[in-house]
């Protein structure tokens, strides 16, 4: 039986000429650009004069799967808003929370004006997807070197019709972290506009020097580095809860995409223990236990994780949402139905419904309902 699911984690693939067609040449030249090696194992990212060499491009076209197919060969709709819906229909994916791809590297830009121009260019392009179909819930890319530019783009994005704001898991290079007061206007703007905060794991701001220090080498490197990309979402949420962001802005909702789900109850327990046992050192004091914010204001999407289902059914965290990561190689394209059945067969119907469609609908109530399971 076909299972239909909304996806809390998908990606647009920006066209190569996005910046050159939308920005003056002197700005376009400094925007993130990826050049892949012929063998597909490495790429060089050019971001505002920096060259970042790296292995394992996240979702890059050159990366091949087990059958030797690139994401474009696997997912013909990866960069086509019309064809993409046919891909989704075939997979049983209904609506998607859609992040940028190359836009994830915007966090490595260090010039606030350049960054704002680039984010606006991405957002003006991305919103056309959402205008084409309500099944695309696009995330607005927010410039995060300072609150002032961030707030301006949050308001502009809300005006364009965005329902979600993509935030990298750390603010821009050199900026104070999420637990500092300088971000207060950003949280206020997000709460006021009702935009859902959408963190995506693996989006820490890097420059060419920190990039090398941030990655592990040696035996096991591929697995070690994949794990390492996971922690950033947990750190961002920890900083927001601990510094009282949700205390002051109870209307905020924050999704962490692609990072699994069992970390939620785990982080909640750790924070509660610290809050009780170290209470004399806790600043600021919170109105409620840390876990209450995590269970209510925070959401998570997972794609293959077997344990994620138990985060809801056994640990009681209701804000768990499945995600496809379409069209990235970590995702489920080509085997979505197999994955959904492996995850959800034998699980009670209410929990399945919550994880496949309900959590997403709670965040984005404007999205039309998914077809009934079993229909094409
Ligand atoms: Mn993803």
**pLDDT 10s digits, 140-159:** 999 999 999 999 999 999 99
For residue 163, give Cα distances in angstroms to 96, 145, 251: 12, 22, 14
Q: Is pLDDT of 160 > 70?
A: yes
Q: What does the DSSP 8-state code read for residue 102?
A: G
Expressed in angstroms and rounded, the spacing between residue 185 Cα and the centre of ligand 1 is 27
In whole angstroms, what is the distance from residue 171 CA to residue 173 CA?
Answer: 7
Q: Which value, in Å, is the radius of gyration of the alpha carbons in the chain?
A: 20
Q: Contact 357/96 with Cβ under 8 angstroms? A: no
The terminus-to-terminus CA distance of the chain in angstroms comes to 10
Expressed in angstroms and rounded, the spacing between residue 272 Cα and the centre of ligand 1 is 29
Expressed in angstroms and rounded, the spacing between residue 233 Cα and the centre of ligand 1 is 12
Q: Is pLDDT of 64 > 80?
A: no
Expressed in angstroms and rounded, the spacing between residue 26 Cα and the centre of ligand 1 is 30
According to CATH, the topology of domain 5-36+77-363 is: TIM Barrel (3.20.20)
Expressed in angstroms and rounded, the spacing between residue 10 Cα and the centre of ligand 1 is 5
Of the pLDDT bands very low, low, confident and very high (cuts 50, 70, 90), residue 60 is very low
Expressed in angstroms and rounded, the spacing between residue 326 Cα and the centre of ligand 1 is 7
Q: What is the mean pLDDT of residues 71-85?
A: 82
For the chain, the domains span 5-36+77-363
Contacts of 107 (CB under 8 A, 6+ apart): 144, 168, 170, 172, 173, 203, 204, 205, 206
What's this model's pTM, rounded to 2 decimal places?
Answer: 0.93
226-274 residue pLDDT tens: 899 999 999 999 999 999 999 999 999 999 999 999 999 999 999 999 9
Expressed in angstroms and rounded, the spacing between residue 11 Cα and the centre of ligand 1 is 6
> For the chain, what is the mean pLDDT?
92
pLDDT-above-90 percentage for the chain: 75
Of the pLDDT bands very low, low, confident and very high (cuts 50, 70, 90), residue 58 is very low
Expressed in angstroms and rounded, the spacing between residue 356 Cα and the centre of ligand 1 is 16
Expressed in angstroms and rounded, the spacing between residue 239 Cα and the centre of ligand 1 is 22
């Amino acid at each position: 039986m076909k299972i239909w699911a909304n996806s809390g984690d998908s990606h647009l693939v920006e066209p190569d000429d996005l910046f050159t067609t939308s920005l003056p040449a002197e700005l376009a030249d400094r925007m993130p650009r990826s050049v892949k090696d012929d063998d597909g194992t490495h790429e060089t990212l050019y971001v505002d004069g920096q060259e970042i060499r790296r292995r394992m491009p996240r979702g890059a076209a050159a990366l091949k799967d087990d059958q030797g197919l690139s994401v474009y060969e696997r997912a013909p709709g990866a960069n086509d808003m019309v064809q993409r819906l046919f891909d989704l229909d075939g997979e049983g994916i209904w609506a998607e929370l859609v992040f940028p791809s190359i836009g994830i590297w915007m966090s490595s830009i260090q010039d606030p004006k350049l960054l704002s121009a680039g984010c606006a260019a991405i957002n003006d392009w991305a919103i056309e997807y959402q205008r084409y179909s309500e099944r695309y819930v696009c995330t607005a890319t927010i410039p995060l070197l300072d609150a002032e530019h961030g707030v301006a783009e949050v308001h502009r994005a809300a005006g364009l019709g965005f329902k979600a704001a993509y935030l990298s898991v750390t603010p821009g290079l050199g900026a104070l972290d999420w637990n500092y007061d300088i971000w207060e206007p950003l949280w206020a703007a997000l709460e006021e506009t009702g935009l859902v905060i959408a963190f995506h794991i693996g989006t820490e701001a890097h420059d060419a020097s920190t990039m090398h220090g941030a990655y592990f080498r040696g035996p096991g490197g591929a697995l070690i580095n994949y794990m390492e990309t996971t922690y950033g979402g947990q750190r961002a949420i920890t900083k927001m809860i601990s510094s009282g962001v949700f205390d002051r802005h109870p209307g905020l909702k924050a999704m962490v995409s692609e990072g699994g789900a069992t970390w939620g109850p785990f982080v909640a327990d750790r924070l509660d223990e610290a809050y009780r046992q170290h209470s004399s050192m806790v600043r600021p004091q919170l109105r409620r236990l840390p876990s209450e914010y995590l269970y209510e204001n925070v959401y998570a999407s997972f794609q293959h994780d077997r344990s994620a289902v138990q985060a809801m059914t056994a640990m009681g965290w209701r804000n768990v949402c499945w995600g496809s990561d379409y069209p990235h190689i970590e995702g489920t394209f080509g085997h979505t139905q197999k994955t959904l059945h492996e995850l959800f067969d034998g699980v009670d119907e209410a929990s399945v419904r919550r994880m496949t469609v309900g959590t997403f609908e709670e965040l984005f109530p404007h999205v039309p309902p998914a077809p009934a399971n079993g229909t094409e």
